[in-house]
Amino acid sequence: MFISIGCRLAGGFLMFFAGVRVIRLALEGMAEAGLRRALRFLAGTPFRAVILGAAITGAIQSSSVTTALIVALAGARAVTLREAVGLVLGANIGATVTIQMLAHDVHRHGPAIIVVGLCAQALSLTRSMAWLRASANLRCAGRTMIGVGLLFTGIRTVAAAAAPLIEGEQFELIVSLFGGNPISGLIGGTLVSALVQSSSLTIATTIAACARGRLGLSGALAAAIGANVGTCITAIMAAAGSTVQAKRAATSHLVFNSLCAGLFMAFLDPFTWLVSRTSASVASQVANAHTIFNVVGAALALPLVDFVVAVVEKFVRD
C-alpha cells in the first residue's frame, strides 16, 4: 500500500514540477508578446494585484495553482516582486471562496486542459493557416495551458494518493489529538496542509472532526490558521530551481502568511469568541474564521508590501 502511495506521490510531484517549468518557459515568450504590459496594467498597484489574485483564485477554486502561476510569472519577469506579493495576498482571499463552498473539484479538468493546449500548439503549426503560425501568442498560450493542465493533474494526483492517509475516522482522531491545544493545532494544520498541498482539504477535514465533537472551535481555528502557512509549500516547490525572482515571490508568500498566523494566534481567544457569534453552525464558524483571517490579513499586509519586498530582496540572493 505504502509503496503504491509513494509512487503516485512521486508521479504527482513530477507532473507538478514539469507544469511549473512549462508555464515559466511559455510565459517568458508571452512576456515578449505583450503579456507583461497587460499584467502591469491589471496588477500595477498592490491593491489592484490583490483584486486580480482574488478573482483568479475564486474562478479556478485553487489557491495552490494560483500561487504556482504567480511564482512562474515572477520567474519569467512578467510581473515585478511587488506585483507578485499583491497577487499572492489576493490568492489568499480567493481561497476563502473554496472553503465557503467546499465544492467544485477543478483539478479534474487537468487532462482536458492539456488536450486543449496541444490543439492550440497544433493549430499554430498548421501550414494552411499562416496567420496562426505567425502568432507567437497562440503557441505560448498553448504551452501555458499544457503547463496548467500538468499542474492541475499533478496536484490532483498528490491529493488522491494522500487520500487513504487522510480520510476516515483514524485521521480525524489524529486531527483531534493535534488540536488538544492551539500550538499543536497550528503545527498539525501546517504539516497536513504541506503534505497534501491543499489548505481546503485540511480545513474540510478539520470541520469534519469539529462537527463530530473531536475538536474544539479554538483548536479548529488554530489548525485552519496553520493550514494557511502549510499551503506555502506549493509556492516554495514552484520556486525550486527557478530564478531568484521566483524564490523571492515564494519567500514573500511564506513571510506574509507566517506573520498573519502569528498575529491571529496571539489573539486566538477573542478571535474564537468573535467567530462563535457569526453562526450557529460549526462548519460556517470555521469557514467564516478562514475568511476573516485572510481578508483582515491582506488589509494589514498591504501597507507593508514595500518594506517586506525590500527585506526579501536583501536576504534572498542568487
Q: How many other CB atoms are there within 10 angstroms of residue 35's CB atom? A: 22
Break the chain into its structural domains and give their ranges.
2-315
- The overall average pLDDT reported for the chain is 77
Looking at residues 191-218, what average pLDDT do you find?
Answer: 75
Residues 6+ apart with CB under 8 A from 34: 137
pTM listed for this prediction? 0.69
Q: What's the rounded Cα separation, in Å, for the pair 96 and 61?
A: 9
Q: Which of 85, 75, 78, 69 is nearest to 145 (CA)?
A: 69
Looking at residues 226-239, what average pLDDT do you find?
Answer: 87
**pLDDT tens digits for range 122-176:** 776 665 445 544 566 677 777 777 877 777 777 667 666 766 665 556 565 665 5
Residue 269 and residue 95 in contact, taking contact as beta carbons nearer than 8 Å: no
Instruction: Name the more confident of 215 and 80.
Output: 80
Q: How many other CB atoms are there within 10 angstroms of residue 30's CB atom? A: 23
Q: Which of 300, 275, 49, 92 is nearest to 199 (CA)?
A: 92
Least confident of 2-6, 251-255, 260-264: 2-6
Q: Which of 315, 203, 195, 186 is nearest to 260 (CA)?
A: 186
Where does the pLDDT of residue 263 fall: very low under 50, low under 70, confident under 90, or very high at 90 and above? very high
